[in-house]
Structure 1
Amino acid sequence: MPCFVRKIEFNPNFVGRSAIIEDIDKVLIPRESSSYGLRSFCLCGLGGIGKTQIAAYYAFQREDKFDAIFWIQADEETKIARGFVDIANSLDLVDDSDRGDKAVCRYKVLKWLSEPRMRAPNVASDTCGEVKLAKWLILFDNADNIDLIRDYWPMASQGSVLVTSRDPLAMTDLATRGINLSPMSPQECILLLQKQVGESPNPKSDQAASQLARKLGNVPLAITQIATRIRRNHMTIDEYVSRQPDGSLLEELSKVSELPLKEQYKFTMATVWKFETLTSQAQSLVYAMVFMDPDGVAEFIMEQSVKTPSLPMLYYPYPGEMFIEARNELSKTSLVQRNKEYRALTWHRIVQEVARDRLSQTQLQNYFQLSLYLLYEAWEYANDRFNRENFKRQKCEDILPHINTALREYTTLYEMEALPIDNASGFVKLLQEVGW
């Protein structure tokens, strides 16, 4: 001891997140008055929101609080098993004949975590006297499938575990405490952008960085990619912003196919959210939401039977169990968040923009027609067009922001051609109703 098994390096560009670090400290830092009981904390949230970077920063900055720190890549079972082999070998828990045996190493590591005896150099294991137990921290990074780490979860009476996951259930099904990460604060974004570009703070730079970060939704990964682009073009932040036409940031993000090695993150904005791995039903649901206001889509709008012959097979989920499964799939990856009280779905605007950017022109038009159909069917029409007493105002007010969004999208998608007649008539009727 000490023993630090971390296949990562310290990121010198890390900034901010001090309140989150304090929250983790309150749970994970060992204290003499409460030394018993496994302490666990989970960082949840959207891919690219900064979970791994916070965990990595914590693993280096809290070396003085722990005798042993272990980092496990937890996105695949084989990587988890390999991580436990590395820990077993580093702690010298296995004989030479068992050094590559994953089952033996897992057993030995879990046993040591339950009774982490410290071994002083050149001291025999049978030396008499009080046995000192090590203070350890194990980090499971990218545990998006929480079932993968159940067989590796410490069943110990002491110790600390930090998990990063896109699945919000990890905060309750695995860890005892956790937080769903939000984007960085505006000031943190300014500092991050300036630090990664290598630019000293000044009023001109601050204003340009603030403007750029706001367009990127204050998402750390997007900021890191744009900073890479600025640095490689040998520009200042202000120069980059002044040269950048509106609406071209997604194209700029796509020009960075990989990040610098020191960022230690394998994803870019083009790959981090893995839309292509979603089931057909989940894809259809999320792409239909592309044309709606991202700040809150009531579920009664989305959970409907789609019966329209003009649309090709879009695999839209049927109401009930199929819809719930598709919705849960999106929630599990933190692509969307569900407000249980209001039964509404929300998602980050930049995620919506990236999802939209993935669709071809034909797909855009098909999913736009699908969203129109959902809005048209969800609207509560008055029985008497001249008497609005039975008009369900609250329900229609929930739909109104999405109709406004659809109207803006219509002028973009159908500038040179007409909307198919069955959808056009429904859209016109819907706009007439809104006009009341």
Structure 2
Amino acid sequence: MKRLGVTPGPFLALAAAWLATRALMLWLLAHSAAPLLGGGSVTREVSRLYFHWYGVLSNGAFPTQDTMWQYPPGAGPVLLAPGALPGLDYLQAFVTLTLVTDALITALLTAVGRRPGRSLMGAALWTGGVPLLLHIPLARYDVQVTALAVLCLLTLGRSPRLGGVFGALGALVKVWPALALLGTPRGRATRTAWAWSVGAGCAALALLAVLFSDPLSFLGEQSGRGVQIESLGGTLLNLARHAGWPGRVRYQYGATELVGPGVRTVAGVSLALTAAAFALLVLWRCKARRWNPATPYDTALAAVLLFTVTSRVISPQYLVWLLGLAAVCLTSRHTSQRPVAVLVLAATALSSLVFPVFYGEVTGGGWAGGLLALARVVLLAVAAVWSFVRLWHSTGPAPGPAVPTSAAGTASAMLRQLRNREPVPAVFRDDC
């Protein structure tokens, strides 16, 4: 590293932090039966539900008439993968693969952060942010999905084709990584990335349709979902119980949802807000005039924040997505999302308090749990709005040229610009 002009100190510190925090997460996973850690509910989803689906998928079919199966067909290979590790039970193999994927994300962010004009803050945010969710990331497949989105964003600038392929694969696993392609520069970069994404997605879907029956069975179950108690609408309804709202909590569709008068209306409002968020992103795309190397990263974070906040479901593992995207943003010194990343970290810490630590208070309608959940969704909502506003301003018309006060001042400004300059791939220079 010294030959490259980089001191090994930061890399050793990141490696030590990753090893220490992941060891702590494994310890929490081993003790997840404790009441404050969810009473075993976190690991039960893998050892029972995922393992059940593994058995169905092993027989060449996707789950049908299963209200819990709400995932695109690309989730199938992810859930089958633990079976390829010999000598481990399903939970052990799943956690092992999740840790390997986590290490891959950290290595990618570190490698990108080493480049001239880049930053290791992204790798630091990912390393320190994921453990804020306690042991939950190890027992959900959202780390694997996030890895595909990170790969998509980090390869877009150098190879729009490869970026498009990773985006398509991520979308087949959990839909939202398709949003990583929204910020590609206009012109050839967008046409290439989106064309390869569509082609790769169709090819992968066709292959899954040949290997498994009923690949689109998830669509019927997804449409039946209600309002999860941790969503924005669910949090407000939960607090309304103190004002006399007669609704109640019910476990259905793989989540704790609220049922009662007005729930369908709240679900409809959530869908309308999601449509409005999509319209805002389309408007931004039409109005944007300036692109820099961080624009695709910033766009992905803003888009996923908007879609997360307006969703009928905001499970704690969704914060893994936001941490990964915020980390990619922080690898670039051009990003406009630094303060948003701080809000994402704060919301992540609150998420682990909402579930699993005080989840009994939340579902029971207690004030403490309700206010914690409210603080979490408010932070996410503020982060979403602020992220979009900062994205809009960073890509708007260029400001007018500043009038130099002196030759010395102009030379000093030019030196600062050159010192902080991040190499700009040709794709950004040609299409802006």
Q: TM-score, normalised on structure 1?
A: 0.27
Higher relative contact order (Cα pairs below 8 Å, separated by 6+ residues): 2
Greater strand fraction, Structure 1 or Structure 2: 1
Greater helix fraction, Structure 1 or Structure 2: 2
Q: TM-score, normalised on structure 2?
A: 0.27
Larger Rg over CA atoms: 1
